[in-house]
Amino acid sequence: MEIVIIGTGNTAAVLGRKLQAAGHRIVQVFGRDSMKASELAYDLGTESTNYWNVVVKDADIYIIAVSDIAVEEVLVELNLQGKTVVHTAASVSKEVLKNATNHFGVFYPLQSLRKGLTYLPEIPVIIDASDEATMKELDTLAHTISDKVIRADDAQRMKLHLAAVFCNNFVNHLYTMAEKYCKDEGIDFYMLLPLIRETAARLDDVPPSQTQTGPAIRNDRSTMEKHVSLLEHHPHMKKIYELLSESIYNQR
């Protein structure tokens, strides 16, 4: 397929590379920042523009890969009646696209993406569309870059995004807290990396509800009290430790 990518950030960059690697042709990159658009276009071996009036009009699919809050700003300038236009936003309804074209949808990559990645990650894709023909088109496109493709409406997609925040953003914040604690206490955070990897690897075979370990699940009050005493000078961590320990205990 011939694809125009609107956006120059992390999602635009990694999704563009995945699509290109799958044999699709990125015919143009649009970005409000001409330098960023040019850089991404160079990476994808295509042309760029920061002028709406020169956006290619005969591509197969137009992918709006900008931040959730910027989708509606883009749509002020976009009118591609008869073309397929999708956005990649988790929290934005597909219906915002209805004035841009009569064939629209969502192509949401359920993954934490960084343009600096030196590899192409596995990316589950969540799709939705205005009509069945567009849905089939997006399903075909999604399966060229992923073997994990599901159809989900706006409400289901938002729930998946919320779950993703718990699995990714919140977990990474806990890593950040642990890293700071280690630094403050003069110990090596990177000694924890094998534990982090092993914890994640177990999920390939066993659901997380069956892999919980630690003092809270054992109701080891003695160890938990020692941990809490170590956090007297880290009140924010102490509060989170107590909250999560109680949650783990109550879900036994």
The predicted pLDDT at position 116 comes to 86
Reported pTM? 0.91
- Inter-axis angle of helices 235-250 and 221-230, nearest 10: 160
The predicted pLDDT at position 72 comes to 86
Band of residue 252 on the pLDDT scale cut at 50, 70, 90: confident
pLDDT tens by residue, 129-184: 999 999 999 999 999 999 999 999 999 999 999 999 999 999 999 999 999 999 99
Dist. CA 242–CA 235, nearest whole Å: 11
How far is Cα of residue 18 from the mean position of the Cα atoms in its chain?
14
The predicted pLDDT at position 90 comes to 92
Q: What are the structural domain ranges in the chain?
A: 2-152, 158-250
Domains 2-152 and 158-250 are alike in CATH topology: no
- CATH-assigned architecture of domain 2-152: 3-Layer(aba) Sandwich (3.40)
The identity of residue 154, as a single letter, is: D
The predicted pLDDT at position 73 comes to 86
- Over the chain, what HEC string results? CEEEEECCCHHHHHHHHHHHHCCCEEEEEECCCHHHHHHHHHHHCCEEECCHHHCCCCCCEEEECCCHHHHHHHHCCCCCCCCEEEECCCCCCHHHHCCCCCEEEEEEECCCCCCCCCCCCCCCEEEEECCHHHHHHHHHHHHCCCCCEEECCHHHHHHHHHHHHHHHHHHHHHHHHHHHHHHHHCCCHHHHHHHHHHHHHHHHCCCHHHCCCCHHHHCCHHHHHHHHHHCCCCHHHHHHHHHHHHHHHHCC
What CATH class has 158-250? mainly alpha
Which residue would you say has higher pLDDT here, 73 or 219? Answer: 219
The identity of residue 50, as a single letter, is: N
Band of residue 125 on the pLDDT scale cut at 50, 70, 90: very high
